[in-house]
């Protein structure tokens, strides 16, 4: 019976306990406070450098971190509540997998990027990077939304976080020595989107039409989704700037992202009403494409992109993203058998690729005249812009083996008739039949 097969009773506790136990053991062995969070090390540092407690990086990164944190848990979580009967699962599975992803990615990123003397040292920067990685996982979640159990999602998180770390390592360390992608156009958005689309392809459901009547929104669910949209939009400047260099870099990243987002919003409203037969606006576009301005400057916002350059980028991204929802999503489904519930290809995939190319372009145009003394700081990381743009398309086939694991039959996946439905995983007090 489908009721039995989707029961979480033993499966979800088992995977939660195992993953949390494994994490705790690895943390006990490998994870330590860093120089800014350890009582001992920080006070040594203060003594040796005659420093002040107010120099602790906490004061210069924590507000940005909290904005990113809000994007991950409120922004992504509520953005996905647009489905009429899947609000509990959207916001709560988002909560669950992000809560695991931040723990697991602290380990994976620690092993790959900051493993010194056999230990991983944690503090505000590791927290931001862990939240960033969970953003990629949630993008992938958007592609498979409504068609996966929380057991599958936790397993996907385990695998994807690991691949995210490896992909980042290859892209930023091996291929382009010390390249940076602060807002993650490539490492977060492009990776998260194409990983999610690959998984969605592997889990292709030929009979999804049996659940299509639940794959839309109702009036109030679209308003809940707007909470997610607006928070993502508001805090995207913090997302792109959270780990850029202190000073003008962080300040400029915020400014560029702010203008890019404003322009992508106007583009989205324009294109949404233009492509609608009756001259009406579509909430799906506003909820998603207006954010493309944040994605597209993820790589380049820390550079001297200029405010009008940011606006042009944002306007193009909003346009392309809205067109994608109208014209590309149906083709992905019918021709490529990729069922992309939230349209992550339009919001994160296309604008992410565009953002990587833009980053390469702006890096290529950098001159000493424009950057002054700021040049070495900003651009020493950009020696090989073109290969970097090129590496974007390598990963997807690599995702097949891990993605395939998610097809295993005992993972409480919903049947084709019960997709986009909270009642199979939740005690729902109101009969939802009327929605």
Q: Report the nearest approach of its own copies to the CB of residue 391 (Å).
A: 26
User: Helices (DSSP H) in 114-218: which residue ranges?
Assistant: 124-144, 150-168, 191-202
Q: Report the nearest approach of its own copies to the CB of residue 52 (Å).
A: 8
| Largest pairwise CA distance in the chain | 70
Are 206 and 199 a contacting pair, CB within 8 Å?
A: no
Tell me how far CA of residue 230 lies from CA of 29, 170, 176, 235, 286, in angstroms: 40, 33, 34, 9, 10
Helix (H, G, I), strand (E, B) or coil at 228: helix
Q: Which lies closer to its own copies via its Cβ, residue 316 or residue 392? A: 316
| Phi-psi map region of 124: left, alpha, beta (phi>0 left; psi -120 to 50 alpha) | alpha
Q: Report the nearest approach of its own copies to the CB of residue 389 (Å).
A: 22
What are the phi and psi torsion angles at 184 (to 5°)? 70, 30
Q: Which lies closer to its own copies via its Cβ, residue 178 or residue 367? A: 367
Q: Report the nearest approach of its own copies to the CB of residue 295 (Å).
A: 16
Distance CA 298, CA 320 (A): 16
**Quick one: which H or E segment has residue 403?**
helix 400-405
Q: Which lies closer to its own copies via its Cβ, residue 39 or residue 397? A: 39
Distance CA 415, CA 210 (A): 10
Q: Report the nearest approach of its own copies to the CB of residue 316 (Å).
A: 11
Q: Which lies closer to its own copies via its Cβ, residue 164 or residue 259? A: 259
Buried b (16+ CB within 10 A) or exposed e, 259-274: bbbbbbbbbbbebbee
Q: Which lies closer to its own copies via its Cβ, residue 60 or residue 169? A: 60
Q: Which lies closer to its own copies via its Cβ, residue 130 or residue 356? A: 130
Are 420 and 221 a contacting pair, CB within 8 Å?
A: no
Q: Report the nearest approach of its own copies to the CB of residue 143 (Å).
A: 21
Q: Report the nearest approach of its own copies to the CB of residue 328 (Å).
A: 19
């Amino acid at each position: 019976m489908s009721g039995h097969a989707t029961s979480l009773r033993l499966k979800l506790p088992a995977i939660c306990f195992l993953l949390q136990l494994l994490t705790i053991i690895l943390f006990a062995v490998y994870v330590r406070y860093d120089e800014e969070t350890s009582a001992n090390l920080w006070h040594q540092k203060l003594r040796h450098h005659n420093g002040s407690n107010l120099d602790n990086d906490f004061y210069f990164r924590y507000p940005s971190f909290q904005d990113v944190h809000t994007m991950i848990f409120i922004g992504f979580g509520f953005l996905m509540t647009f489905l009429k009967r899947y609000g509990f699962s959207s916001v709560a599975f988002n909560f669950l997998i992000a809560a695991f992803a931040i723990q697991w990615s602290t380990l994976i990123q620690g092993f790959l990027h900051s493993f010194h003397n056999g230990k991983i040292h944690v503090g505000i920067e590791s927290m931001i990077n862990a939240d960033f990685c969970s953003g990629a996982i949630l993008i992938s979640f958007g592609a498979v939304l409504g068609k996966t159990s929380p057991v599958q999602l936790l397993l996907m998180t385990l695998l994807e976080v690991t691949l995210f770390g490896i992909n980042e390592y290859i892209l930023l360390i091996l291929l382009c020595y010390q390249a940076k992608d602060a807002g993650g156009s490539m490492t977060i958005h492009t990776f998260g989107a194409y990983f999610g689309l690959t998984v969605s392809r592997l889990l292709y459901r030929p009979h999804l039409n049996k659940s299509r009547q639940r794959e839309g929104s109702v009036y109030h669910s679209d308003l809940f989704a707007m909470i997610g949209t607006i928070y993502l939009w508001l805090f995207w400047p913090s997302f792109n700037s959270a780990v850029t260099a202190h000073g003008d870099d962080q300040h400029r990243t915020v400014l560029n992202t702010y203008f890019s987002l404003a322009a992508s919003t106007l583009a989205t409203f324009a294109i949404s009403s233009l492509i609608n037969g009756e001259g009406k606006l579509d909430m799906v576009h506003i909820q998603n494409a207006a954010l493309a301005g944040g994605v597209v400057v993820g790589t380049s916002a820390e550079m001297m992109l200029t405010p009008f350059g940011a606006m042009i980028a944002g306007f193009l991204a909003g346009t392309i993203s809205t067109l994608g929802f109208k014209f590309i999503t149906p083709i992905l489904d019918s021709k490529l058998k990729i069922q992309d519930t939230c349209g992550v290809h339009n919001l994160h995939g296309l604008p992410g690729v565009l953002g990587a190319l833009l980053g390469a372009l702006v890096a290529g145009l950098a001159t000493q005249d424009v950057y002054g003394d700021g040049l070495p700081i900003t651009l020493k990381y950009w020696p090989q812009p073109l290969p970097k743009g090129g590496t974007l398309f390598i990963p997807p086939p690599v995702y097949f083996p891990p993605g395939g694991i998610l097809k295993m039959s005992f993972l409480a996946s919903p049947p084709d008739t019960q997709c986009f439905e909270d009642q199979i995983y939740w005690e729902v007090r109101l009969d939802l039949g009327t929605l």
